[in-house]
């Protein structure tokens, strides 16, 4: 396997597959609420506009039992297998760096535990925020980050600092033993091969929405 391929693998699973699995999970939960009991890979591929062969490979990696011809998979069983595969029931503790408006919102959000993540503490360089609690989570000075992350065995870091401070925050998290980073800063982060970075680039998402609306409006005028 080439070095570039290794960098794009996590525990033998491609990062692209890991990115698709939560999308499948959300879709299956919606189908379950609609009363759908069984579903096939071709239907999932069609609804999500994905390649059918890729969907079959992804589901085969997750499902404990193979889909049956014509009927496909039992939706409830597939949801359960996917949640177990993704570790939704094994809560991982996370540390957040940067207690600005976005950081405060994430600290106060109660829905992360559903997906196996619990933010347990935060760090900031602003002395006015240190030694306070936000959303019930303590805020510590950033100088304590490495030591506390190591002591508490924190494996997930969330970066909500401005772009110019993101790499420094990332380096501190990696030095503290963090293995996965959720990055909200609009900048590329350099990390060792064993660390996974998931970028949430809101500027790109907003640009895509704006472009969609522009094209839809242009078509409407034709």
Give the pairing of strands 196-199 and 180-183.
parallel
Contact assessment for residue 91 and residue 113, using Cβ atoms and an 8 Å cutoff: yes
Query: Alpha-carbon distance 101 to 81, whole Å?
Result: 36
Q: Is 53 annotated as a binding residue?
A: no
Query: Alpha-carbon distance 26 to 86, whole Å?
Result: 13
Query: Alpha-carbon distance 102 to 186, whole Å?
Result: 13
CA proximity to 200, closest of 189, 210, 191, 211: 189
Q: Is 100 annotated as a binding residue?
A: yes
Q: Is 102 annotated as a binding residue?
A: yes
Q: Is 98 annotated as a binding residue?
A: yes
The binding site for NAD(+) comprises 98-103
The binding site comprises 98-103
């Amino acid at each position: 396997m080439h070095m570039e391929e290794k960098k794009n693998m996590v525990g033998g699973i491609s990062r692209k597959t890991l990115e698709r699995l939560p999308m499948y999970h959300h879709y299956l939960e919606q189908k379950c609420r609609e009363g759908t009991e069984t579903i096939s890979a071709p239907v999932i591929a069609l609804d999500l506009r994905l390649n059918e062969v890729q969907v079959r490979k992804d589901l085969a990696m997750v499902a404990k039992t193979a889909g049956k011809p014509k009927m496909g998979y039992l939706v409830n069983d597939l949801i359960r297998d996917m949640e177990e595969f993704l570790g939704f029931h094994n809560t991982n503790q996370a540390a957040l760096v940067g207690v600005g408006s976005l950081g405060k919102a994430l600290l106060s959000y109660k829905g992360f535990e559903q997906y196996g993540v619990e933010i347990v503490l935060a760090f900031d360089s602003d002395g006015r925020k240190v030694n306070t609690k936000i959303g019930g989570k303590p805020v510590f000075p950033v100088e304590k980050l490495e030591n506390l992350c190591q002591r508490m065995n924190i494996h997930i870091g969330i970066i909500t600092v401005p772009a110019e401070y993101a790499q420094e925050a990332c380096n501190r998290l990696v030095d503290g033993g963090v293995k996965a980073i959720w990055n909200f800063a609009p900048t590329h982060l350099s990390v060792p091969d064993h660390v996974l970075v998931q970028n949430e680039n809101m500027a790109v998402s907003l640009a895509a929405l704006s472009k969609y609306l522009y094209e839809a409006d242009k078509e409407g005028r034709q």
